Structures are given as C-alpha cells and as structure tokens.
Amino acid sequence: MKKDFLETFRQKQLRKSQLKQLSMLEEIDRICQKHYIPYWLDGGTLLGAVRHGGFIPWDDDIDIAMRKEDMERFLSIAPRELNDTLSIQSNTKSEPVTKIRDLNSFFVEPGDDLQKKQHRGIFIDIFPFVDYPTMPRKLVKHITLSISKSFAILHKKHYYSIRSFAEFFWFGIKYSIYNSLWVVICKIWPKDQYISNIVTNNGYGIMHQKNSIFPLGTIQFEGKTFCAPNNPDAYLKDLYNNYMEIPPVEKQKSHSLFILPELDE
C-alpha cells in the first residue's frame, strides 16, 4: 500500500492545531469572565474533557455553547476585545454556528468552497442554545430533523437543473410548514424544562434538562479550568448515550482534510 503523504502531514499538525485552539479558548474564556457571559464546553470538547482529560486524540476543533442572547452579547463585545490574530465568522442566515477563526493558519474541511473569499483558519465553534417546549422527544426529533435538513438543503450550493428546482420547491414548502408549526408550538407549550441548540442546527432532536447545565460548573481540559454543565454525565448521555466507550478506529473521524497551524512563523 502506498503511503498517504497528505494524511501523514495532517496527523503531524494535529497536536499543534489543538494547542493553538486551546489558547483561543483561553482568550474566549477571558472575555466571557470579564463581561459575565455564561458559556460551557459542548459536544466533543466536553466529551474529551470527561473521557480523556482534554482533546479527544483525533479531534481537531473545539465546541462551546451559549444561550442565544448571551452569544449576541458576546458578538457585540468580542470584536473590540479579541486579540488581533482572531476573527469572528458569523452569518446566522445561512450558517447558524458562529466561528472564531485564527488568522495565521489554514484549515480545510470536506465540502469547503475554496473559491469563496473568507478566513479559513483553525476555529472554535460557538453553538447558540434556546429554550425548548416541554413535549415528547420523538415529536421534537421529527420536527427538528425536518427543519434542519430542509434548511441545510436550501442553503447548500445549487446548480441549475430540474432536480435542484424540485429540491428547492419541495424543501422550501417543507421548511415553511414545519418551521411555522414549531413557532406555534413554542408559543403554546411551556418552555421551563428543556434547552438545546437552535432548531435549524438540531437534526438529532437532542434536548437537555436545564438543571443538567445550570448553574454552570467547571471542568479541567488540558490542565486548564473552563466552564461546563454542572452534570456532564447527564449532558453527554443526551448526546452520545454510552459516551465512555471508545469508538473503533474506522469511526474515529476528524473534521479536517488539511491543517497548517502556522502560515507565518
């Protein structure tokens, strides 16, 4: 078997990338602590903190979460507070996740449109969370999957064809119907028990008990202390079920195709 030089190079850059992301997380934490903006480690980053004491060995990004209103406050403050090597990438109309990008690096993911002019450095994802109606999880999953899938298809790059026209028509109607239904449900049902990712980014229908997150606790990640849900066990079971089980090698997937942690040394 011939050697995969690109993958070998990517693996060599992984730890450097992780350490740069760690310094970026410290900068975000500094701003949040200074301005009393609540956030917490989310997804694979929280999983890594619990299971590995830091990064999942093959992971190449950091996930944090904030209440939507707190993220909006963070976005109003961060541009004047972040150091000059970092930039905010936020377009909530087409991409519901805000990214904090490092300007002195290069990171390529599958599906990236390299013709699109934007920063492509190493990043931290910030996921906005909102209150969810108190209703059966299966129904929430059905609705949120329909909305998030339709949203993703409507906002992906399309080429002129009969199929793309049919997709746009079908998923446009589907999105309008389910999104309107969700708006009505959120106005009628009480929203005092659950919280989760905004609906366009929640295809798995995940809901967290608010009391598993708040009041926020802390956790060690790569030897440093960051904010975390007060009950990481319950939070991670909502996300991954048996989260302490290490997946087989073929499922240990990273996000990147190519990483260059430093453009200018």
Report pLDDT for 167.
Answer: 75
Q: Which residues of 219-236 are buried (b: 16+ CB within 10 A; e: fewer)?
A: bebbeeebbbbbbbeebb
At CA 20, angle to CA 261 and CA 36, rounded to 5?
Answer: 145
Q: Which helix (H) or strand (E) holds 29?
A: helix 5-34
Residues 6+ apart with CB under 8 A from 118: 89
165-222: per-residue pLDDT in tens? 677 778 889 989 999 999 999 999 999 999 999 998 888 889 999 999 999 999 999 9
Query: Which residues face 64 on adjacent strands?
Result: 41, 126
Report pLDDT for 153.
Answer: 81
Report pLDDT for 180.
Answer: 94
CATH of domain 5-129+212-260: 3.30.460
Joined together, the tokens standing for residue 220 give 């060690």
Percent with pLDDT over 70 in the chain:
95
d(CA 210, CA 224) in angstroms, rounded, equals: 25
Q: Where are the domains of the chain?
A: 5-129+212-260, 137-188
Alpha-carbon radius of gyration of the chain? 19
DSSP assigned state of 218: E
- For the whole model, what pTM was predicted? 0.91
36-91: per-residue pLDDT in tens? 999 999 999 999 999 999 999 999 999 999 999 999 999 999 999 999 999 999 86
Joined together, the tokens standing for residue 223 give 């030897």
Report pLDDT for 164.
Answer: 72
d(CA 228, CA 46) in angstroms, rounded, equals: 7
Half-sphere exposure of 121 (CA within 13 A, CB side): 21
216-259: per-residue pLDDT in tens? 999 999 999 999 999 999 999 999 989 999 988 888 888 888 89
Report pLDDT for 92.
Answer: 56
Mean pLDDT of 147-162: 78
| Span between the terminal Cα atoms of the chain, in Å | 35
